[in-house]
Structure 1
Amino acid sequence: MLLIVLAYLGGVLTILSPCILPVLPFVFSRARQPFTRSGLPLLAGMALTFAAVASLAAVGGGWVVAANQYGRWVALALVAVFSLTLLWPGLAERLTRPLVALGGRLSETSGGGDTPRPGASLLLGVATGLLWAPCAGPILGLILTGAALQGASIGTTLLLFAYAAGAATSMAAALLLGGKVFAALKRSLGVGEWVRRGLGAAMLAGVAAIATGLDTGVLAQLSTASTGALEQALVDRLGAPRPDGGAMAMRGEPAMMMQGGPAMMAAGAAMRGPEAGALPDEGEVPPLDGATQWLNSPPLTTAGLRGKVVLVDFWTYSCINCLRTLPYVKAWAGKYRDQGLVVVGVHAPEFAFERDLANVKKAVSDLGITYPVAIDNQYAIWRAFRNQYWPAHYLIDAQGRVRHHHFGEGDEAGTERVIQQLLREAGAAQVSAGLTEVDAKGVQQAADMAAVRSPETYLGYERAENFVSTPNARHDEAAAYATPARLALNDWGLAGHWKVGPESATLAATSGRIVYRFQARDLHLVLGPGPDGKPVRFKVRVDGQDPGDARGVDVAPDGSGTVTSQRLYQLVRQPGDVRERTFSIEFLDPGVSAYAFTFG
């Protein structure tokens, strides 16, 4: 029952989402007609069609995507016809004389007449529902994740109906308000004809926006109403389950484009782990073509790897989740190399500096990685695997079939058992028994997730949250910032002259500070020196004092340190009980760039 209420409330919020904007003109085209005979059937058609299409998505997987795209184009054509009849009521009769009666009826029922027909409104609602179906946020992703984890059921369909009913409720309120507006216009101004034509033009503009992708592109950028945070707050407030752990970090732009929906379904499926003795066949391994360069090996191909068990590890060198998984990957590569395992690291960058080959080569050397690494700067391998997460592990059997995947940190024991099983299936004579134990140090040490209450936080304006300095962040221009005297948990800010760019904040003066109120055992910050590469000195304080034994591996007990390269720096590691602390870092030289806080 709780999830049904949650889904309904999420649907109510949908009217604020940018992707619903092109649909609203279709709803408002019924505003001046009786609600029960016109508006209500339209909204019912929208809700029923949306729930049906989304249910098919939960049941049918990938094939319904193509079917829905065909349905969208049919719906676009149908709505375009309705739009034209609003603009020119006699158009259907002039163009299609044999169907003049049907054309007149469509014109009348879609807004050109005074006697609305519920059937025609329902039909328009069905068409609009097909257009609306792809509009989804975290709560809809949560519903589809449940279907992936537990199988599609009547309960899943009920949740989807609740989501659709919530959206229909908010649009019904807007429709009723619109009706009052239209009534006032008709009584006082007599501009009904122009309003009708304006609605027809708005509907055509909506069709064009949806057909060209503007509904999810430009509108998403222009709109000041974003429901993602509101919906996620509902998820958190009502305690609904969701995929957790490193997979939810979804570091980097390619990952962030898939918020909810299939990406969340995949993440949920990955959390289940393999069933004992039964590994699914997830299809043929995608090609490894498209890497801009290979390290530690000549270019590898899937054909050349046939007969081997292959672990493909998607990572990027400043990703804390990847760094904490890396000790296991390196250990497996050495332990099972002679038994037929090949580990392939695919380095897919998040930040611009991670595209620099010299930076990646240095990181591979510093981290002690000796297995082959594909430099995937164009995301060719990433897209071939349809991957969405850092880190992500895919296991391929000796026949070139994907048999297992895992997203994010955790379940290393389960992944190693799959490696052992696939090696035995491949005919390895002696497969090492037992599970790998690692003694990781520094940034690679496992996180204390029970103590973490602070999320990954980006400093660039494209993804920044909880920024509390004054003034608000000025995009791509230097400005003087000040931080408040007191910070709430997870608030952060800049002090001094900084230039805030899309992915980082760069110090534009000889000194400046960053402050963050956090709770976690470890605090990390991705940093880089200025364009000239000169080292940047810094001073860390925790609650206004030198960190002492709470220092990270990149900080001296007195809080001093130096930014020498573009990478992740561990600045705090609290001993003993973990509690809320105020972190500050003062930079003593200009030019430093700060990208993202991570915690552990």
Structure 2
Amino acid sequence: MAAQPHEPVHPDPAPIRLPIQGELPSFAGATGWLNSPPLTEVRLRGKVVLVNFWTYTCINWLRQLPYLRAWAAKYSGQGLVVIGVHTPEFGFERDIDNVVRAVREMKIEYPVAIDSDYAVWTAFSNLYWPALYFTDADGLIRQRHFGEGKYELSEMVIQQLLTEAGSTNTSRELVSVDARGAEAPADWANLRSQETYLGYARTQGFASPGGVAPGKPHTYTAPATPKVNEWALSGDCTMTEQATALNAANGSIVCRFHARDLHLVMGPAVPRTSVRFRVLIDGQPPGAAGGADVDNQGNGTATEQRLYQLVRQPGPIADHTFKITFRDPEVEAFALTFG
């Protein structure tokens, strides 16, 4: 994903107030590292450090990722170290092979600390994906940002901290990214549906008659047209705390949503298998409204546990009914997200 510089509005902006907000905690609790040997206080001394908490199926982080790659590429030679701390949200994100694959496929080249035990997360007292912590060359946290957005401000913080550290060649230009697929910015003006978890511990808006049968196989049915931001199941399913397992072929998930994009975090329940599925929008193949992981007839295959982009509408956004039917059994669905 190419990143090209462009001129900021103010070529020589006034310094940003960056009070000290604590010291950079240790990464000693990391269970492993990718793209780097373990980074210690000694290795980071004199560097400006940007710490990013992420988990690879988080849509909010995916939309932030193009900027992280661009900042690492532009400023690493000027004294910036970007560290991605991968702290899992779902159980399958603890699988190191899944994380390695995600790092490779997402072209992440900066250091990644594996935080499967939440030790680094706890050391930072962090609560969010994504989260950014900006640390100066003395190891002091000078800025925090939680969630998406404020990319220009974040980059100006990086520039200021590099200048404070003695860099004399830090450009005031700001990166521009060409983000595509799931990494593209959300259509915020039309986003009226929120992340929906499909496990009983955190789900909302479940509309199958009779409600949830927690933790046991149950034959669910779905209303013909759920209300906006409701979802339902059809078929032989087991809803656990974190996910819904569709146990038999032809089980379905239905939801009514209002957003340009719809994604589903899902994957085969059995490793190294695949599950075929078909997506319909208002009972019809999606055509041009299909996402990156389906064809224009709505057909796709889940081959791994990740976020799948199933809908990206090109035209005016309205309420629609989404339905995904799995042609094979043994698939787990974790969350619906929108953009």
| TM-score grouping bracket, smaller chain normalisation | over 0.9
Give 2:127's aligned residue: 388
Distance 1:381 1:368 in 2: 23
Greater than 2 Å deviation, 4+ residue runs? none
Residues 45-87 of structure 1 deviation map (CA, whole Å, 9 limit, x = unaligned): xxxxxxxxxxxxxxxxxxxxxxxxxxxxxxxxxxxxxxxxxxx
Give the SS at the match of 1:303: helix
Give 1:455's aligned residue: 194
1:362 is the counterpart of 2:139: no
Distance 2:222 2:20 in 1: 54
For residue 187 of structure 2, what is the amino acid of its counterpart? D
Distance 1:348 1:337 in 2: 23
Give 2:82's aligned residue: 343
1:401 is the counterpart of 2:140: yes
Distance 1:352 1:277 in 2: 40
Greater RCO (CA < 8 Å, at least 6 residues apart): 2
Residues 228-284 of structure 1 deviation map (CA, whole Å, 9 limit, x = unaligned): xxxxxxxxxxxxxxxxxxxxxxxxxxxxxxxxxxxxxxxxxxxxxxx9432111121
Give the SS at the match of 1:406: strand
Counting only pairs closer than 5 Å after superposition, residues 568-587 of structure 1 correspond to structure 2 as 568-587=307-326
Give 1:352's aligned residue: 91
- Match among 522, 534, 541 for residue 261 of structure 2: 522
Q: Are the aligned partners of 1:496 and 1:509 in contact in 2 as well (CA < 8 Å)?
A: yes
Distance 1:558 1:277 in 2: 51
For residue 496 of structure 1, what is the amino acid of its counterpart? G
Q: Are the aligned partners of 1:458 and 1:595 in contact in 2 as well (CA < 8 Å)?
A: yes
Q: CA deviation at 1:530?
A: 2.2
Pair member with larger Rg: 1
1:588 is the counterpart of 2:327: yes
Distance 2:188 2:322 in 1: 19
Distance 1:433 1:291 in 2: 34
- Match among 472, 476, 494 for residue 233 of structure 2: 494
Counting only pairs closer than 5 Å after superposition, residues 91-490 of structure 1 correspond to structure 2 as 276-490=15-229
Unaligned runs of 5+ in 2: 1-13
Q: CA deviation at 1:463?
A: 0.4
Distance 2:139 2:203 in 1: 41
For residue 265 of structure 2, what is the amino acid of its counterpart? V
Distance 1:569 1:532 in 2: 17
For residue 405 of structure 1, what is the amino acid of its counterpart? R
Give the SS at the match of 1:325: helix
More strand by share: 2
Give the SS at the match of 2:248: strand
Q: CA deviation at 1:471?
A: 2.6
Q: Are the aligned partners of 1:348 and 1:379 in contact in 2 as well (CA < 8 Å)?
A: yes
Give 1:152's aligned residue: none
Q: CA deviation at 1:472?
A: 1.5
Counting matched residue pairs gives: 327
Q: CA deviation at 1:288?
A: 1.1
Give 1:560's aligned residue: 299
Q: Are the aligned partners of 1:471 and 1:482 in contact in 2 as well (CA < 8 Å)?
A: no
Distance 1:423 1:306 in 2: 13
Q: CA deviation at 1:310?
A: 0.4
Q: RMSD value over aligned CA atoms?
A: 1.2
For residue 201 of structure 2, what is the amino acid of its counterpart? E
Counting only pairs closer than 5 Å after superposition, residues 531-546 of structure 1 correspond to structure 2 as 531-546=270-285
Give 1:171's aligned residue: none
Q: TM-score, normalised by structure 2?
A: 0.95
Q: TM-score, normalised by structure 1?
A: 0.54
Identity, % of aligned positions: 55
Q: CA deviation at 1:449?
A: 1.1
